[in-house]
Amino acid sequence: MYQLAAFAEQAFAGNPAAVVPLETWIDDALMQSIAAENNLSETAFFVPVVDSEWHIRWFTPAAEVNLCGHATLATAAVIRSRLRHDQWPITLNSASGPLIVDTAGQGFVLDLPTDPPHAVEIPDGLAVALGVAVDELLAGREIYVMPMADQGAVAALRPNFAHLAAVVDYGIVVTAPGAEVDFVSRFFAPALGVDEDPVTGAAHCLLTPYWSARLGKEKLEARQISARGGHLICENQGERVRLQGAAVFFLDGKISV
């Protein structure tokens, strides 16, 4: 098993993910137990299919999810640096379809499905859970998006996570124009066992088309302003979103079960 910080240029930043290479799939319950033991926002497991192609799955401490950007980035780093794979791009088959990953200098570019958010009704109790008035709410396939006035409002948010888990069954990203980048965000998913995710690739599948339309530009610079923080370059390509970032290794180890 490997642990890396994704969407980071240095240790102790970005989003930590565990990556477990497998020769064949192991029992789902065992993968979930490993993810719970790791207690990171995501643990990725992957198995080889053919040359330059793997199958990938992601688990939070509480559940399997259909898409995770930062653990996909971490998996690509393991494939390049630890498996010594030198033929790029690669394909990672997933519950969200094939994901293409290419190298970009010392980092990587993820090609992910876009998830344009649309206006939805505001659930009862959301304002109480977030501790602020909710004037506008959008949603993609699974994730809510709540625009806020400015970066300071996003940074000051202090949700009640127990209440939020009862109202939002997957996750919610709050976002605003950035002071030094195009936009900033924070992502909360207490129902999945992740109160606040440090950097969330899947959320940027919604944020990229949203801010692309709002700002009138296809390429955007983003920062997720969690305590660890993370930096992303996002590009809107219509049906796909390209996210660029780097990953830093923290540990190499072996699992004993």
Q: For 179-230, how does the pLDDT look when each residue is reduced to its tens digit (9 = 90+)? A: 999 999 999 999 999 999 999 999 999 999 999 999 999 999 999 999 999 9
118-228 maps to which CATH number? 3.10.310.10
Q: What is the DSSP letter of 191?
A: G
Q: What percent of the chain has pLDDT over 70?
A: 100
- Cβ proximity of 70 and 46 under 8 Å: no
Cβ neighbours of residue 36 under 8 Å, at least 6 residues apart?
61, 62, 193
- Cβ proximity of 145 and 137 under 8 Å: yes
Q: What percent of the chain has pLDDT over 90?
A: 97
Task: Give residue limits of the domains in the chain.
Answer: 2-113+243-252, 118-228
Which pair of tokens denotes residue 217?
């530009």
The owner of tokens 């379809």 is: 97
Q: How far is CA 173 from the centre of its chain?
A: 11
Residues carrying an active site annotation = 42
Length in residues, the chain: 257
Evaluate the omega torsion of the peptide bond into residue 89 and state whether it is cis, within 30 degrees of 0. Answer: yes
Q: Do domains 2-113+243-252 and 118-228 have the same CATH topology?
A: yes
Find the mean pLDDT for residues 162-171.
97
| Per-residue model confidence as pLDDT tens digits over 118-154 | 999 999 999 999 999 999 999 999 999 999 999 999 9
**CATH homologous superfamily for the domain 2-113+243-252:** Diaminopimelate Epimerase; Chain A, domain 1 (3.10.310.10)
| Per-residue model confidence as pLDDT tens digits over 62-73 | 999 999 999 999
| Per-residue model confidence as pLDDT tens digits over 75-96 | 999 999 999 999 999 999 999 9
CA 46 to CA 85: how far, in whole Å?
A: 14
Cβ neighbours of residue 253 under 8 Å, at least 6 residues apart?
1, 2, 3
